C-alpha cells in the first residue's frame, strides 16, 4: 500500500541551496570507457542541488515549500525551476549557476563531475541568510543542504543554525569542511535538530572505516550516537544499499530497503531526507519515519538521473525496520500501511 495522502496545512519546508547546479545526466548504453568516444543512450538536464531536490519532492507530495538560492531570473536554472512550478526566493548571484555532469551506466554505476560554482561574496551570503531567516518564520522545517560555494566560510552553516533554531526546526545535510566545522561547534544550544550523514560522512568525523559503517548498522548507529550526545536531536544516517539507521535520545533503528534495480543513486540521499521529514509532518513514530525515508531513497535509486520520486512510487510497506536497542536476532517492526 502506498503512503497516505498528505494532510493540507501541516507545515512548510524551506530549503537553502547555496551552491545550486544545472544537473546534466548522460545515460550510456554500455560501460564507461575512459579515453574513448561513446554515444549516449539518452540525456537530460534539471535544476538541481540538494535543497532544490527536496523542494521538488515537496511539490510532488503536496507539501508547501520555498527554495532559497542564488540565481538570476533569466538563468536556464531559474527558468527550469519556474517550468517545474517550484516556489523560490532568488538572490542575485555572483556568477552563472554551475553545471554538474552525471554519467550513468546500465548497471547503475554513477560517475559525477561537479563544478565548483561562482565565488560567493559576503554581500550575497548576507542576502541569502536574510532571505532564509524571513522564510523560516512560518516554516515547519528549514533544510540547509549541499556544498558551500567558493568564498563561503566553512562555518557558515553553523552560523545559520544558531539563528534559525530560534525560529523553527533545522536539518543539515552537508559534507567535507562545512560538516567538520558544524560538528566542531555542536552543543545543545547550537546543534541542528536533524542531521543526515552518509557512511563516508560519519567516518570523516569519527575515524571509523566508511565501508564498515555502511555494512554494520550497529557501528553506524554508534557513530551517529556521538552527534546525539553532542546535542543533535535526531540523526538519519543513510547507508547506501544497506538502508539507513535512525538514532535519537530514545533509541536506534535500522531499516533495510526492498530489492530494486539500481539505475542512478544521484538524489537518493535527498529523497531519503525528504521522506523522513514527510513522516514527521504526518505524525509518524520514529520507525515509521525511517521506513518512509528508506522507501523514498530506494525509489529514487531506481529512477534515472536526479529524478525525485512521487509518493505513489514509494513502498514503505516493503521496508523492514528493526529496533537496534532491543533486537539482537532480527526482530522487525511492522511498517505496513505507513
For the stretch 1-49, pLDDT in tens is 233 334 444 689 999 999 999 888 898 989 999 899 988 888 878 888 9
For the stretch 172-227, pLDDT in tens is 999 999 999 999 999 988 999 999 999 999 999 999 999 999 999 999 999 999 99
CATH classification of the domain holding 141: 3.40.1190.20
Report d(CA 64, CA 57) in Å as an integer. Answer: 10
pLDDT in the model for residue 112:
86
For the stretch 226-280, pLDDT in tens is 999 999 999 999 999 999 999 999 999 999 998 888 887 878 999 999 999 999 9
Percent of the chain with pLDDT strictly greater than 90: 74
Domain count, the chain: 1
Cβ atoms within 10 Å, residue 24: 18
The grid coordinates of residue 29 equal: 548504453
Strand-pair partners of 247: 235, 252
pLDDT in the model for residue 327:
57
Alpha helices by DSSP H, the chain: 50-61, 76-83, 122-136, 156-164, 176-184, 199-206, 210-215, 217-229, 268-281, 286-301
In a domain, 89, yes or no: yes
DSSP string, 33-100: -TTS---EEEEEEEEE-HHHHHHHHHHHHT-EEEEEEE--TTSHHHHHHHHTT--EEEE--SSPPEEE
pLDDT of 135 higher than 80: yes
Comparing 282 with 306, the larger pLDDT belongs to: 282
> Do 170 and 141 form a contact (C-beta atoms < 8 A)?
yes
Report d(CA 165, CA 160) in Å as an integer. Answer: 8
Q: What is the DSSP letter of 223?
A: H
In a domain, 2, yes or no: no
In a domain, 4, yes or no: no
Burial class (CB within 10 angstroms; exposed 0-12, middle 13-18, buried 19+) of 228:
buried
For the stretch 50-69, pLDDT in tens is 999 999 999 999 999 999 99
> Do 150 and 280 form a contact (C-beta atoms < 8 A)?
no
Burial class (CB within 10 angstroms; exposed 0-12, middle 13-18, buried 19+) of 137:
exposed
pLDDT in the model for residue 102:
86
Q: What is the DSSP letter of 30?
A: S
In a domain, 146, yes or no: yes
Strand-pair partners of 46: 23
- Dihedral, CA of residue 293, residue 9, residue 91 and residue 100, to nearest 10: 20
Comparing 104 with 165, the larger pLDDT belongs to: 165
In a domain, 78, yes or no: yes
In a domain, 176, yes or no: yes
Domain span at residue 188 reads: 12-32+41-323
Buried b (16+ CB within 10 A) or exposed e, 249-279: eeebbbbbbbebebbbbbbbbbbbbbbbbbb
For the stretch 207-219, pLDDT in tens is 999 999 999 999 9
For the stretch 66-90, pLDDT in tens is 999 999 999 989 999 999 999 999 9
Cβ atoms within 10 Å, residue 325: 11
What is the pLDDT confidence band of residue 107, given thresholds at 50, 70 and 90? confident
pLDDT in the model for residue 126:
98
In a domain, 334, yes or no: no
Instruction: State residue 221 phi and psi, 5-degree precision.
Output: -65, -40
In a domain, 18, yes or no: yes
pLDDT in the model for residue 46:
84
- Residue for grid cell 532544490: 52
Q: Decide: helix, strand or coil at residue 171.
A: strand
Amino acid at each position: 500500500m502506498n503512503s497516505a495522502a498528505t494532510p493540507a496545512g501541516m507545515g512548510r519546508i524551506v530549503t537553502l541551496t547555496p551552491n545550486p547546479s544545472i544537473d546534466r545526466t548522460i545515460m550510456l548504453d554500455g560501460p564507461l570507457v575512459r579515453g574513448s568516444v561513446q554515444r549516449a543512450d539518452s540525456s537530460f538536464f534539471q535544476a538541481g542541488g540538494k535543497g532544490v531536490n527536496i523542494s521538488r519532492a515537496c511539490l510532488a507530495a503536496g507539501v508547501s515549500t520555498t527554495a532559497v538560492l542564488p540565481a538570476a531570473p533569466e538563468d536556464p536554472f531559474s527558468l527550469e525551476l519556474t517550468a517545474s512550478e517550484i516556489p523560490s526566493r532568488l538572490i542575485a548571484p555572483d556568477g552563472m549557476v554551475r553545471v554538474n555532469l552525471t554519467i550513468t551506466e546500465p548497471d547503475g554505476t554513477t560517475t559525477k563531475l561537479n563544478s565548483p560554482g561562482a565565488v560567493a561574496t559576503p554581500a550575497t551570503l548576507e542576502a541569502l541568510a536574510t532571505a532564509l531567516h524571513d522564510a523560516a518564520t512560518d516554516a515547519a522545517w528549514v533544510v540547509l543542504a549541499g556544498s558551500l560555494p567558493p568564498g563561503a566560510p566553512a562555518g557558515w552553516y553553523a552560523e545559520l543554525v544558531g539563528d534559525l533554531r530560534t525560529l523553527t526546526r533545522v536539518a543539515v545535510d552537508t559534507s567535507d569542511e562545512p560538516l567538520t566545522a558544524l560538528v566542531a561547534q555542536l552543543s545543545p544550544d547550537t546543534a541542528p535538530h536533524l542531521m543526515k550523514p552518509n557512511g563516508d560522512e560519519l567516518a570523516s568525523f569519527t575515524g571509523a572505516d566508511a565501508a564498515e559503517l555502511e555494512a554494520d548498522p550497529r557501528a553506524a548507529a554508534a557513530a551517529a550516537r556521538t552527534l546525539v550526545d553532542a546535542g543533535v536531536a535526531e540523526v538519519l544516517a543513510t547507508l547506501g544499499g544497506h538502508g539507513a539507521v535512525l538514532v535519537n535520545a530514545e533509541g536506534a533503528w535500522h531499516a533495510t530497503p526492498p530489492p530494486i534495480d539500481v539505475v542512478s543513486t544521484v538524489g537518493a540521499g535527498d529523497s531519503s531526507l525528504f521522506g523522513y521529514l514527510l513522516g514527521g509532518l504526518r505524525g509518524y513514530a520514529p520507525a515509521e519515519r525511517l521506513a518512509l525515508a528508506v522507501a523514498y531513497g530506494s525509489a529514487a535509486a531506481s529512477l534515472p538521473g536526479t529524478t525525485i520520486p512521487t509518493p505513489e512510487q514509494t513502498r514503505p510497506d516493503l521496508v523492514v525496520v528493526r529496533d537496534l536497542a532491543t533486537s539482537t536476532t532480527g526482530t522487525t517492526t511492522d511498517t505496513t500501511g505507513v
